[in-house]
Amino acid sequence: MAAPSTTTAEMPMTAGTSAPPSVPTTTKAPAPPPLVVTPDKIESILGSRADVGKILGTTLEYDNNDSSPPTDQIGGAPDCAALDIPTASQLGSEWTTYRWNYYRETKDRTAYIVSQVAVLYPTREEAATAFVHAFPKSAAKTCVGAEITKQDQKWTISNIAEISDSTAKWTQLQALQSTPWRCFFDFRNKNNVLFGAYLCQYGDGVPGVTTITDRIAAWIPQ
């Protein structure tokens, strides 16, 4: 006795036999938020004493740090006084996290002084705006040879290599020194970070400060 035949129309719909609903071709996943440096990562983008010491070929045994920008006034024409580590007034009120690291070979004697700065903002747009405010382009036209005063020390801005929307590079020469002692500055803006370094030494510090600042930049996402 053959089993009775069943037509397709008579078969019950069981799991897996129904066609899945089609997904509209216009459906797209939401775009991820832009990648930014968060406060918990700020230390990791700055070079350690060991890392910076290797760049300079020396051992840096002394360090200091701060989580608030300086408030000391720098004497000189306003645009020229801005060519130093940015102060609280230069950075504005939108920043969220600040870190300053300071290294030298020993507390009392050193051939190198290194400082690194990183300042986080909520967005890359706010960081870009803060950078332009902190380092006015007009300084490039008027400040070469200008004198500034900080903590009773006189310094001359001996060179300005560049001031743009995202990069500022200049050199300070300490006055009244028989052997020229210079500080080389390299500050930049990338993503939501205003960052930079200065290197003080006898001789040419441009290669050293550039390498130190390049290292910071490499740890910041685009």
What average pLDDT does this structure show over 37-45?
A: 96
Band of residue 152 on the pLDDT scale cut at 50, 70, 90: confident
195: left (phi over 0), alpha (psi -120 to 50) or beta: beta
What is the model's pLDDT at position 25? 60
Q: pLDDT tens, 100-116?
A: 999 999 999 999 999 99
Q: pLDDT tens, 43-67?
A: 999 999 999 999 999 999 999 999 9
What average pLDDT does this structure show over 134-156?
A: 95
- Report yes or no: 173 and 185 within 8 Å, Cβ to Cβ: no
Q: Following DSSP, what letter does each residue of 167-197 receive, concatenated?
A: EEEEEEEETT-SS--EEEEEEEEETTEEEEE
How far apart CA 94 and CA 69 sit, in angstroms, is 13
Band of residue 4 on the pLDDT scale cut at 50, 70, 90: very low
What average pLDDT does this structure show over 65-83?
A: 96
Residue (of 139, 185, 143, 147) closest to 164 by Cα position: 139
How far apart CA 37 and CA 221 sit, in angstroms, is 7
What is the model's pLDDT at position 28? 73
28-40 burial, b at 16+ Cβ within 10 Å, e below that, comes to eeeeeeeebbeee
Torsion of CA 199, 204, 209, 215, to 10 degrees: -140
Band of residue 146 on the pLDDT scale cut at 50, 70, 90: very high
Q: Which residue has the higher pLDDT, 173 or 3?
A: 173
What is the model's pLDDT at position 12? 45
For the chain, list the domains and their CATH numbers.
64-218 (3.40.1000.70)
Q: How far is CA 198 from CA 11, 116, 221, in A?
A: 80, 7, 22
Number of CB atoms found within 10 A of residue 7's CB = 6
Distance of CA 217 to the CA centre of its chain: 6
What is the model's pLDDT at position 151? 86
Percent of the chain with pLDDT over 90: 80
What is the model's pLDDT at position 214? 98
What is the model's pLDDT at position 24? 61
Q: Which residue has the higher pLDDT, 26 or 100?
A: 100
Angle between helices 206-218 and 49-56 (to 10 degrees): 140
How far apart CA 174 and CA 147 sit, in angstroms, is 10
On average, the pLDDT of the chain sits at 90
Percent of the chain with pLDDT over 70: 86
The full length of the chain comes to: 222
What average pLDDT does this structure show over 182-202?
A: 98
